Each structure stands twice: as structure tokens, then as C-alpha cells.
Structure 1
Amino acid sequence: MKKGLIFVLFALVSIVSYSQISWNAKVGMNMSNFTGDSETDMRIGFNVGIGMEYQFTGMWSIQPSLMFTQKGAKMDELKANPMYLEIPVMAAARFEIADNQNIVVKAGPYFGFGIAGKYKAGGEKIDFFKDTKDEDGDILMEGAKKFDAGLGVGVAYEINKFFIDLTGEFGLAKIYDGDGAPKNMNFSIGVGYKF
């Protein structure tokens, strides 16, 4: 028992003594779509945000971020462009391939909250997250749910303080209720700088 306790304490002290915190800023392009029964096409958007990395060892770290991201899809003339504040929390493994060059593989959950967005068809715009009502107050079209969550996976290539990042996000929360209800799916490519 004492040996096990001493080993655990030694492991914790070595992890805490190594741990390092760094910050980064990133910007990128999204290629998003809705899953489900509806027939939609990919839509191009953007993302921008800041992130933190807490390194436990030279290889293992956790990478939470705060991102402003534009998702959505196209359906013939109709374009949906919801915008979310997102918090992805990725567990990452770093592999050194040369001096000051690393490949980082990461995976983890993300949580999002819809803050704005519209459906656009021709010159008409309808709020994405709010119910559309007629003159009598009856709901014509239900607004989308604001909460989004899912799983993310990605890979990054680091050169000194710069990095290129490829990430995929697969939504688990329904945008609307009902059978075959759509979920968000997003792939992004971005660049960033660690400081």
C-alpha cells in the first residue's frame, strides 16, 4: 500500500513539475453540412479563436479552445449559415519528426452555443435560431436548437511556433427534433501561432 501511494505521489509530482501552459491564436476555413434525411450540399464558412495547451509530458497534453465558427449547409436556393461559440476540448499526442517540427494527433468533445445566423433565399432572410411566425402569431417554421455538441478529431503539423491544423467535427445533438433530424458536420483547415 505504501509503495503504491509513493509511486502515485511520485508520478503526480513529475507530471506537475513538467506541465507547461502555452496559448495560441488560430483562423481557418470551414466546409460544413447537415447530416440526416435532408438533401443538402456543403457550405464554406470560417472560424477564428484562441486556444490553450496544458502539457502533462513532452508527448501528452490537453487543448481547450474558444472558437467563433460558422457552419451550415446549402439546399438549392436556400443557404443556412448558423454561427456558434464553441469550446472544443481535445486530448493530444505530439510526435517529434525533426528539430522543432511535430505532428500532433488529437481527439475529444466539443460544445457549442448558437449566437446568430440566418436562412437566406433570394433576397429574403429568416432567423436560424428563432421561430418564424405569421401575422396571427402561429409558428410557420420552428427555429433551430441553440445547443450543439459532438466529437472532434484532428491532426496538426507544427513548425516552431506556427502550425497548420486539419479538424473534423461530428455533431451528436440534433438541430431540429423529429425523425431523421439533421446534425452538424464540419471539416476545417486552419493556421495558427503559439505564443
Structure 2
Amino acid sequence: MLLSVACALPAAAQNLTLKVGGGLASHYKDSRPVGAFKLGLGYEFELDQHWTVEPSLVFYGKGWKEPDEQVAIRDDEGEQIYDEEGNPLVGVRSTSATANYIELPVVVHYYIRTNDNQYVNLYTGPYVACGVSGKIKTRGDADRPGSEKLYYDAKTFSLDGVRRFDAGWQVGAGYQFSRNFTLSLEGDFSLSRFRSGGDRNVAGLIALTYTFSAD
């Protein structure tokens, strides 16, 4: 609905925006964070002196790291290996993942003027996204055969049960310190699971936005 409203607005009060950002991403609960980034173009439609609507097209790099997990050490025939006292031998498996998305957020901005060409900027809105690339890397999985005990990888969105589609909510707060530049802190909170029975994406970034002013 927000997008249809934006498209119906007059062309006079519109600005193209370029946003780059970096920070951390993870999954909810027990996962650990990894680096995240975004690069996107938006088109901001002014409603009045305080309110704007901005649809964007964004490339967003997310990911997560699983906590180290103990796994059974097996031989090449898949049989459990035991020590001299009959205790099962275990190893430590480490898994990290990247998941890159094409994201379409539509956010509503509220501006509070503090000085000439300087504003506090609060914004929020929904997003939808489609996973396009990424890799899951696993090290030290002693439960696997052959060389895979040391390392193996797979494309993130080719694994069984993984969902390419993501949807959630974005919130942010920033400061426009000149006519063209805004520095902000924002978060993406997924409302859909990455896989059936799995966790959801979450990311937080520091972002810099350049606004191509129409006048």
C-alpha cells in the first residue's frame, strides 16, 4: 500500500538516495554474529515538511555462525571410533554462513529539524527479500567421510529446507548533518524463518546515505 501511495505522489518532491552500510548479522537465539553489508538505491517522496516515503532496491549481505558443536569421530566406513578405554572420540565442528539477498524495503521517514539542512531522521517499514547467493562452510566435522572431515561447503540456498524468500521489518534512526549526507543506525528483523523449524535473520548496521537533491 505504501508503494502505491508513493507512486501516486507528484514528481516535484522526489530525491534519489544512495545508501551504503556495514555491521553485523546473525540468527536469533544461539547463533553468533558475522559481518554484514548493504548497498542500495532509493527514491524518497516528500509528503510534507516532516513525512516522506522511500521505496528502495538493496543488495544485502547477511549471515551467521553456529556455536561450536561436538560431533562423533568416525572412520571411513562410518563407524564410531573409541579410545583405549572404550569412550567414544569426539571432535568440534565449526559452521559459518553467508546469505546474500535482493531486498525491497518501503520505509516511512519522520524528520525533526534541528538547524538549517540538519535533521533527526526516524524511519520504519516492511521489507521483502529474495536470497540470491551465499555459502555455508563447515570445518572439523569428524562425522563426515574422507577429506570432508577437515572442510566442506555448499551453496546456502541449494540446501534442503532453506527458504529463499524473506520478509520482515526495518527500523532506524539517523542524523542528516548536511544537505546531502545522513548517518544512521538501523536494524532488519526477519519475521519469516530461514528454514523449516529454523531461526530468523537479524542484522544491525551503521549506514551512510547520500541524497541527490532535485534543486
Dislocated runs of 4+, deviation >4 Å: 16-19
Alignment of 1:145-184 (within 5 A): 145-158=163-176, 159-178=178-197, 181-184=198-201
Q: How far apart are the structure 2 equivalents of 1:103 and 1:62?
A: 16
- Identity across matched positions, percent: 30
Which residue pairs with 2:145 in the alignment? Answer: none
Aligned pairs for 1:5-24 within 5 A: 20-24=13-17
* 1:78 counterpart = 2:133: no
Task: Tell me the alpha carbon deviations over residues 50-106 of structure 1, each in whole angstroms, 9 at most, x when there is no partner.
Answer: 111000101011011111011111113211100000011101111101111011101
Superposition RMSD in Å: 1.8
User: Normalised by the size of structure 1, how large is the TM-score?
Assistant: 0.80
C-alpha distance in 2 between matches for 1:94 and 1:19: 19
Whether 1:44 aligns to 2:35 is: yes
Instruction: Provide the secondary structure at the position in 2 that maps to 1:67.
Output: strand
Alpha-carbon distance in structure 2 between the residues aligned to 1:161 and 1:146: 35
Give the Cα–Cα distance (whole angstroms) in 1 for the partners of residues 170 and 111 of structure 2. 17
Please name the residue that 1:100 is paired with. Answer: 117
Q: Rg larger in 1 or in 2?
A: 2
- Contact 1:19–1:57 (Cα < 8 Å) also in 2: no
Give the unaligned 5+ runs of structure 2.
1-8, 69-93, 140-150
Question: Does 1:58 find its partner at 2:49?
Answer: yes
Find the partner of 2:23 among 25, 30, 38. 30
**Deviation (angstroms), 1:169:** 1.2
Partner Cα separation in structure 1 for residue 200 and residue 125 of structure 2: 18
Name the aligned partner's letter for residue 64 of structure 1.
P
